[in-house]
Structure 1
């Protein structure tokens, strides 16, 4: 029986806390001691609290009494708990540390197809423009913090034809700190899920695994207000996202239609906005 630990840095990797940070070894997981104004993985993020309750938690001395048990308060309330000092920059919406493995995906991405209307989850009749947006949200009072997912596709030949999907993405690290002793294998997959609803009346839940700069997803649940046998609804679907470079994202999709036809396609998106540089 052991408590799952998540390390933010590693002593054997000199730059795991950036060029000016220092890796501090702790029983609750290694953490970065960052220069003034910065915090988190690699000392990449501006020093700021994640939760609006942080000041109250500090007054309740949670930073101190929980320290031997869990790093949660120091990770999510670093400013209030004195883990870091405020600098000149702040993000409009701070990134919760648990979502740091998804940081490569965060941003607004754009693509345009040529000739065909293949897309997930519902096809268009021909070529289209699409905006794919993974954004940072206000953290909930309970449950794990999500990323927002917004997709807007417009038919090039008829701007009045639009497909919209909105939803949330969550991640469950294999070594998640729950504060409890658990019995499980030493290694396992980090899990990810997307719950999404479409203006075409389709609701989907995708689950899969998270790898460095990759996500692999399968649809595990779907319901359509048009009926599951409607021609526009697929039978099964799998897709993945791969970061090809800092500003290029590739989506690969495999779908089986209700008629049994296998459709495969891929798209490249180009980043047009980065929420992790949206400072105030």
Structure 2
């Protein structure tokens, strides 16, 4: 087994289906995330994301470390998942799970000219003992401007209509 793992140390070629999204691959870091929602106090957060491939027609997404509150340095949440595409890139999907007990299946579109992925959830699952209020829907945008990646996350709960929750700009570090 160790011989197999050592041969995997070098990444295989990028799968043809995800080549148009190769701009997303790598590590991205930010220290100026902005969080707000009508039911909570505004906050700033620090986050590092990584998008990798292993030769399959998907991209693995993960927060390299917890999102941290910029002021208190306390960890906030952690998220891992995958981006999948149809062969013609007419549809994209973002599937993720958070350590808070939330799991999402989002689908949407890719605009190659704008380097923009837009997703909206069609399924949001949660622990039966998760903290209220219940999240009903999530919408997410990844948009690349040169060496800057912007992520915007909107959220709807049983108590609050869809509204912006997170906005963050990352710089590519790897």
Which TM-score tier does this pair reach, normalised by the shorter chain? 0.7 to 0.9
8 A Cα contact 2:52 2:59, kept in partner:
yes
8 A Cα contact 1:201 1:224, kept in partner:
yes
Structure 1 unpaired stretches of 5+ = 1-51, 53-90, 140-144, 175-188, 274-280
**TM-score normalized by structure 1?**
0.51
Match of 1:256 in 2: 156
Determine which structure has the larger strand proportion and give its number.
Answer: 2
Hey, what's the Cα distance between the residues in 2 that align with 1:226 and 1:118? 25
Per-residue CA distance 1:222-254 (angstroms, 9 max, x = gap): 1110557822x4222212111111x10112232
8 A Cα contact 1:238 1:253, kept in partner:
yes
Give the count of matched residue pairs: 160
Hey, what's the Cα distance between the residues in 1 that align with 2:67 and 2:18? 26
Match of 2:13 in 1: 94
Match of 2:95 in 1: 195
Provide the secondary structure at the position in 2 that maps to 1:236. Answer: strand
Higher-Rg member (1/2): 1
Match of 2:53 in 1: 136
Match of 2:124 in 1: 222
Provide the secondary structure at the position in 2 that maps to 1:103. Answer: helix
Q: How does 1:210-249 map to 2 (within 5 A)?
A: 210-212=110-112, 213-226=115-128, 230-231=132-133, 233-245=134-146, 247-249=147-149
Cα displacement (A) at 1:165: 0.8
Hey, what's the Cα distance between the residues in 2 that align with 1:169 and 1:235? 21
Cα displacement (A) at 1:268: 1.2
Match of 2:28 in 1: 109
8 A Cα contact 1:172 1:191, kept in partner:
yes
Decide whether aligned partners of structure 1 residues 210 and 113 sit closer, same or farther in structure 2, where only a CA change above 3 A counts: same
Q: How does 1:1-280 map to 2 (within 5 A)?
A: 92-113=11-32, 116-118=34-36, 126-137=43-54, 139=56, 145-151=57-63, 152-174=66-88, 190-212=90-112, 213-226=115-128, 230-231=132-133, 233-245=134-146, 247-264=147-164, 265-273=166-174
Match of 1:179 in 2: none
Hey, what's the Cα distance between the residues in 2 that align with 1:272 and 1:215? 20
Provide the secondary structure at the position in 2 that maps to 1:259. Answer: coil
**TM-score normalized by structure 2?**
0.78
For CA contacts below 8 A with separation 6 or more, give which structure has more relative contact order.
Answer: 2
RMSD across aligned positions (CA): 2.8
Structure 2 unpaired stretches of 5+ = 5-9
Hey, what's the Cα distance between the residues in 2 that align with 1:127 and 1:147? 27
8 A Cα contact 1:229 1:258, kept in partner:
no
